[in-house]
């Protein structure tokens, strides 16, 4: 079962001022981008502006750093133009080295790996501008300087209503703790590295231990991501994983059944993928998801409508509605286009009413039911075609696999000789409170990529014992495990 909740928060006066002024800047730049003759340049500027708007909604830290970097990069381009002795009204080239992004490219970018998307965002958001002359660029830089100072005031004030909403959830929601009062494992998704670092620092301060939080983001190698996943899965003191969508790429986070979307992606497919990290085959717990939304903002109003409608349909159709989110179109447009329309024209009542109607129609029960039936049919066809092949592959693998009881007997004896102790917690399921340094050091010496943790909440030697009702999932000790 999957349950989702919307956590609404209201911006403070200073936060609202920053939101309105940055949004006005984004709207003005969109209007200027419309005048660009080259559609690729228009798309590139639009991508930069939507990235800036998403960072505004993410955290004071993310928007402050983004405005600061953008202003500094454009100041360098301005200085280069001045040194080249360009006239103030001469055409200005601001797109050297930048990708020209069409509408099709925008759709493709939604599906690229997180690290690649992050790199593209950084290059474009810091540099792409609709300014066509030195004079226009000077005006934009002056405006960015004012916005940067306003963002700095918000940051310095210490007031962050979004963080306060998350902190209250972490400290006061009963689902965060088990029957013994111990904190449960929690995954928090954000879209931006600046926000990830900001949240990591604040949560570590709240919980009082550095090791209580691990992170996964696009800047980590595959091995570093695996180590973070293993630490989150097996080490008791690691309670929170803060991640970008890099953790939605092939990583199993089923150890947790609690998740928070600190930032909501503008692509529903990513929302579906995130929930899928904890709701996988074998998950025995009810999965809970909290979405933080500032419904007084323009994009927040769209998300509030979407999540409210989604919850209504979940009650009728069940948690499977989350499995088809990525297939939903909004009046034959992606959700991203609706949000951009809300940002640009959401001050008009007729536009807001139209957007609400479009969301309601897209998430209509009959439409969702059709998507669910289509998905079930696709799975059924796959089952008919593949079942015999899969069964044969499983039988061959089973015939060649070492028998688990031999592996268990060998491991127990060798581990004991190395000074280790295994505690049987459930039948044939063991806890290792401390892996002897001789084993950890020997493993890292022979293979630096091997990940052996200091402790394991559970290990097993038989695949069918990985999960056990009400207990942590286990690491499977088998050939190939470090």
CATH classification at residue 358? 3.40.50.300
In a domain, 58, yes or no: yes
Residue/partner pairs of 27-35 with CB below 8 Å, 24 or more apart? 27/343, 27/344, 29/129, 29/130, 29/140, 30/340, 30/343, 30/344, 32/130, 32/131, 33/130, 35/130
pLDDT band at 406 (very low <50, low <70, confident <90, very high): confident
Are 24 and 171 within one domain? no
Rounded Cα distance between 417 and 414, Å, is 5
In a domain, 22, yes or no: yes
User: Any idea what DSSP says for residue 324?
Assistant: G
On the question of pLDDT at 382 being above 60, the answer is no
Are 411 and 367 within one domain? no
Asked which of 87-101, 126-140, 164-178, 211-225 is least confident by mean pLDDT, the reply is 87-101
* pLDDT on residue 405: 75
pLDDT mean over 356-376: 86
Q: Per-residue pLDDT tens for 436-452?
A: 777 776 655 555 556 78
* pLDDT on residue 336: 92
* pLDDT on residue 398: 57
Q: What are the φ/ψ torsions at residue 472 (nearest 5 degrees)?
A: -65, 145
* pLDDT on residue 226: 86
Q: What are the φ/ψ torsions at residue 289 (nearest 5 degrees)?
A: -130, 130
pLDDT mean over 14-35: 94
pLDDT mean over 243-265: 82
pLDDT band at 366 (very low <50, low <70, confident <90, very high): confident
294 closest CA partner among 60, 57, 61: 57
In a domain, 396, yes or no: no
Boundary-marking domain end, from 157, 187, 202:
157
Asked which of 27-31, 153-157, 236-240, 449-453 is least confident by mean pLDDT, the reply is 449-453
Are 182 and 116 within one domain? no
Are 113 and 186 within one domain? no
In a domain, 482, yes or no: no
Boundary-marking domain end, from 329, 360, 376:
376
Rounded Cα distance between 56 and 20, Å, is 10
Phi-psi region of 97 (alpha: psi -120 to 50; beta: other; left: phi over 0): left
Are 252 and 143 within one domain? no
Choose from 96-105, 108-117, 254-263, 266-275 the range with maximum mean pLDDT: 254-263
Rounded Cα distance between 392 and 410, Å, is 29
In a domain, 56, yes or no: yes
Boundary-marking domain end, from 157, 178, 202:
157
How far CA 277 is from CA of 25, 219, 432, 476, in Å, comes to: 36, 19, 25, 19
Are 176 and 304 within one domain? yes
In a domain, 481, yes or no: no
Are 238 and 372 within one domain? yes
Are 183 and 148 within one domain? no
Split into its structural domains, the chain has a count of 3
pLDDT band at 134 (very low <50, low <70, confident <90, very high): confident
Choose from 143-147, 222-226, 389-393, 477-481 the range with maximum mean pLDDT: 143-147
Are 349 and 421 within one domain? no
Residue 159 sits at the vertex; the CA angle it makes with 156 and 165, to the nearest 5 degrees, is: 145
Are 348 and 466 within one domain? no
User: Any idea what DSSP says for residue 36?
Assistant: -
Are 147 and 172 within one domain? no
pLDDT band at 413 (very low <50, low <70, confident <90, very high): confident
Are 423 and 341 within one domain? no
Segments forming the whole domain that contains residue 235: 161-376
* pLDDT on residue 356: 94
In a domain, 383, yes or no: no
Rounded Cα distance between 457 and 480, Å, is 20
In a domain, 182, yes or no: yes
Tell me which of 112 and 191 has the higher pLDDT: 191
């Amino acid at each position: 079962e999957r349950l989702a909740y919307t956590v609404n928060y209201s911006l403070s006066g200073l936060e609202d001022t920053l939101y309105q002024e940055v949004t006005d800047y984004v709207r003005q730049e969109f209007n200027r981008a419309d005048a660009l003759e080259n559609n690729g340049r228009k798309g590139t500027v639009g991508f930069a502006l939507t990235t800036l708007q998403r960072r505004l909604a993410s955290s004071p830290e993310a928007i402050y750093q983004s405005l600061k970097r953008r202003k500094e990069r454009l100041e360098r381009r301005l200085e280069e133009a001045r040194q080249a002795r360009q006239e103030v009204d001469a055409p200005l080239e601001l797109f050297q080295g930048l990708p020209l992004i069409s509408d099709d490219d925008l759709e493709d970018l939604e599906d690229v790996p997180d690290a690649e998307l992050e790199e593209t965002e950084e290059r474009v958001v810091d540099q792409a501008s609709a300014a066509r002359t030195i004079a226009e660029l000077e005006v934009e830089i002056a405006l960015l300087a004012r916005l940067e100072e306003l963002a700095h005031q918000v940051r310095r004030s210490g007031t962050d209503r979004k963080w306060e909403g998350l902190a209250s959830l972490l400290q006061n929601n009963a689902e965060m703790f088990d029957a013994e009062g111990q904190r449960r494992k929690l995954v928090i998704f954000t879209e931006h590295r600046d926000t990830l670092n900001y949240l990591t620092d604040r949560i570590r301060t709240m919980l009082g231990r550095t090791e209580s939080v691990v992170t996964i983001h696009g800047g980590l190698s595959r091995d570093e991501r695996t180590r973070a996943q293993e630490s989150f899965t097996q080490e008791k003191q690691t309670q929170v994983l803060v991640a970008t969508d890099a953790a939605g790429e092939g990583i199993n986070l089923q150890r947790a059944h609690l998740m928070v979307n600190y930032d909501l992606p503008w692509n529903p497919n990513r929302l579906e993928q995130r929930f899928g990290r904890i709701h996988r085959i074998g998950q025995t717990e009810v999965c809970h998801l909290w979405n933080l939304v500032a419904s007084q903002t323009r994009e927040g109003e769209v998300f509030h409508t979407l999540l409210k409608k989604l919850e209504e349909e979940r009650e009728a159709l069940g948690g499977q509605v989350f499995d088809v989110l990525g297939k939903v179109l909004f009046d034959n447009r992606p959700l991203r286009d609706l949000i951009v329309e809300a940002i640009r024209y959401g001050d008009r009542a007729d536009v807001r009413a139209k957007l609400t109607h479009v969301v309601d129609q897209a998430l209509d029960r009959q439409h969702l039911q059709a998507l669910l039936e289509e998905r079930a049919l696709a799975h059924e066809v796959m089952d008919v075609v593949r079942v015999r092949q899969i069964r044969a592959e499983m039988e061959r693998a089973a015939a060649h696999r070492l028998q688990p009881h031999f592996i268990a007997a060998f491991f127990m004896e060798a581990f004991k000789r190395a000074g280790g102790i295994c505690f049987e917690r459930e039948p044939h399921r063991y806890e290792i409170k401390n892996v002897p340094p001789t084993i950890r050091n020997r493993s890292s010496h022979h293979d630096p990529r091997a990940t052996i943790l200091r402790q394991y909440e559970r290990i097993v030697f038989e695949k069918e014992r990985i999960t056990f009702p009400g207990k942590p999932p286990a690491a499977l000790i088998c050939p190939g495990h470090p």
